[in-house]
Chain A
Amino acid sequence: MQLLIEESGHEVRNLGPCVPDDLLVRTAVGTPTDLIVMSTVNGHGLTDGARVVRLLRGEPALRDVPIVIGGKLGVAGDSGPEGVQALLEAGFTAVFGDDEVDVALFGAYIDSVAARVSR
């Protein structure tokens, strides 16, 4: 994920696995940020993602920063439109799955962020 984002010309601050909520919020508020990416595979993304994105959106500085999540979002596989909708309503800008098509979509999304940032 880091390589993919770097290859489209961005600097990446990789916070690693199992990032505590306060570390993510603190880092995002304290650094000029064009995009926040969360990658999740343990099946708790629906619960944990919604919680942490609400915290991020609660910070005035992060109200308009794009925040995206992708991976295996629920324990039951395809989390369905309801799961995706719930994450979007909680504050995510976009939600990706874990398919090859999602990798391609994510790449295109990154390029759109790059275009917006460089404008």
Chain B
Amino acid sequence: MSARAFGRFVADARAAGRLVVQPRMGFGSPERMRAGLTATKRASATTVGTITLDSYTRLGDHGAAGRALAAGADLNGYPIVAHDTGTTGAMLAGIVDETFPVQVRHGSPAPELIFRRLCDLGLTASEGGPVSYCLPYGRVPLAESRRSWQRCCELLASARESGQEPHLETFGGCMLGQLCPPGLLVAVSLLEGMFFRQNGLRSVSLSYAQQVSQGQDEEALHALRRLAARFLPDVDWHVVLYAYMGVYPRTVAGAAALLAEAARLAVRAGAERLIVKTAAESARIPTITENVAALEHAAREAAAEGKGSEEVTETGIHAEALAIVEAVLGLDGDVGKAMEQAFHKGYLDIPYCLHPDNAGQASSYLDSDDRLQWRDTGRLPVAVPRHDSGGHLGAAELLDCLSRVRRRFDGFDQEPVEAPGAGAGWEVRR
């Protein structure tokens, strides 16, 4: 396969003034996966392809993935380890080429088998990270994830010998998808990029997930670029924005307007690539057609937007991220070990994350201007600590923060739905 390096493809698109758009897409069947990649390639947009893996494969339960395939059950992604190399090679034949790099996306805290399979298949672009694919989604200890990701970076970096520059994207700017204040998202994204670099990668991308306030997101993306220029001077890097990852609008118009906002934000703030979401997002895994519609919609919106000014209103995101990054890097010369110690010390602490290695002292909220704020900074090394003096955040307030984007984009503030009267017949068994 003569795939052009992922990083080069994105750099060329940037030079041509085009935003690269990319779906989240994965199906259990090789035929459907191939159809999805073909449709992505043919879409009227500058696209890269995605193979999203299923959650059995993410958790290393390849036996369960194989049994689901044998039983004809629906999988939520492509089981790249359960399908043999020949099957996937045939699925990809003629798809990956000069004009169409493909990235494998998964969510695994211990992805050695996945990375080994990628290398066997000649695929050289993936994503994740020792923190961002460990804390939110699983129960593997952080130390184990760090060691595994270190081995995976080395494995992927060695694919350089095949002639292509391997590429790895950090998922660190997306921690839990919503309610993580931007300064911490930027810091984790950058630190994971530095981890990749320290373990042999020369081409990386840094992620950031769209939050609720456009002004805050623009400032965060500028901060991420400034820090990347400073801390990753000797590697190829770009910024990838994720369309909103939280509770998504249910209406077609609401979903389209939110994606348009993401595409325009990406262009204004200088992000090179956008991961889209579809109109089906709130309900289920999208079809191929829905994904293509989202890619083309995002590309049209991006083409209509101009690059924003280099000046943004500073509210302190850059300073907060820099303080966290410097404090973490000061803990150990090895970025992976430094991040691991930082979680033990609470220098990194992701709000609402239940993983045992997360301190769980920091918490956040969405203010009335839709900006993410710290409710409590716990032991984060920030210049202006905040400590929660009020009562605990209640379920209703948390649900309000989680669903504000849906309410805004669906065009109405829904009244809380009343429960049916006592004795309604939902209890069937007893």
**Using a CB–CB distance below 8 Å, which chain A residues touch chain B?**
3-4, 7, 14, 16-19, 42-44, 47, 64, 66, 72, 74-78, 88, 91-94, 96, 99-101, 103-105, 107-109, 112
C-alpha spacing A14/B414, complex, angstroms? 30
With A14-B354, A47-B73, A77-B280 known as contacts, the answer to whether A104 contacts B427 (CB < 8 A) is no
Q: Contact: B426 with A109, CB < 8 Å? A: yes
Q: Contact: B395 with A93, CB < 8 Å? A: no
Contacts of B422 on A, CB cut-off 8 Å?
108, 112
- A-contacting residues, B395-430, CB 8 Å: 395, 398-399, 414, 416-420, 422, 424, 426-430
Task: Sort chain B's interface into a size bin.
Answer: 35 or more
Contacts of B355 on A, CB cut-off 8 Å?
16
CB closest chain-A residue, reference B421: A108
With A88-B428, A109-B427 known as contacts, the answer to whether A47 contacts B420 (CB < 8 A) is no
Q: Contact: A17 with B139, CB < 8 Å? A: yes
Contacts of A92 on B, CB cut-off 8 Å?
429
CB closest chain-A residue, reference B76: A43
With A3-B398, A44-B55 known as contacts, the answer to whether A17 contacts B426 (CB < 8 A) is no
C-alpha spacing A93/B398, complex, angstroms? 27
Contacts of A108 on B, CB cut-off 8 Å?
419-420, 422, 424
The distance from the CB of A93 to the nearest CB of chain B, in whole angstroms, is 5
With A75-B284, A94-B426, A109-B427 known as contacts, the answer to whether A17 contacts B354 (CB < 8 A) is yes
Tell me which of A64, A78, A93 has the highest count of chain B C-beta atoms within 10 A of its own C-beta: A93
C-alpha spacing A101/B418, complex, angstroms? 7
Q: Contact: A18 with B427, CB < 8 Å? A: no
Q: Is B9 on the interface with A (CB-CB < 8 A)?
A: no
Q: Contact: B417 with A93, CB < 8 Å? A: no
Give 26 pairs: A residue, B residue, CB < 8 Å, sorted on A: A3-B398, A7-B394, A14-B354, A17-B136, A18-B138, A19-B139, A42-B55, A44-B55, A44-B75, A72-B284, A74-B74, A75-B75, A75-B285, A76-B74, A78-B283, A93-B427, A93-B429, A93-B430, A96-B426, A100-B414, A104-B416, A105-B419, A107-B419, A108-B420, A112-B422, A112-B427
Tell me which of B68, B395, B417 has the highest count of chain A C-beta atoms within 10 A of its own C-beta: B395
With A18-B137, A43-B76 known as contacts, the answer to whether A94 contacts B427 (CB < 8 A) is yes
C-alpha spacing A28/B100, complex, angstroms? 50
Q: Contact: A76 with B428, CB < 8 Å? A: no
Contacts of B121 on A, CB cut-off 8 Å?
none
C-alpha spacing A94/B363, complex, angstroms? 32
C-alpha spacing A33/B386, complex, angstroms? 37
Q: Which of B283, B419, B429 contacts A88 (CB 8 A)?
A: B429
With A104-B418, A109-B426 known as contacts, the answer to whether A42 contacts B354 (CB < 8 A) is no
Contacts of A101 on B, CB cut-off 8 Å?
417
CB closest chain-B residue, reference A19: B139
- A-contacting residues, B37-91, CB 8 Å: 55-56, 59, 68, 73-76
Q: Is B393 on the interface with A (CB-CB < 8 A)?
A: yes
Q: Contact: B284 with A104, CB < 8 Å? A: no
C-alpha spacing A90/B420, complex, angstroms? 26
CB closest chain-B residue, reference A1: B395
With A93-B430, A108-B422, A112-B427 known as contacts, the answer to whether A16 contacts B139 (CB < 8 A) is yes
Q: Contact: A105 with B394, CB < 8 Å? A: no
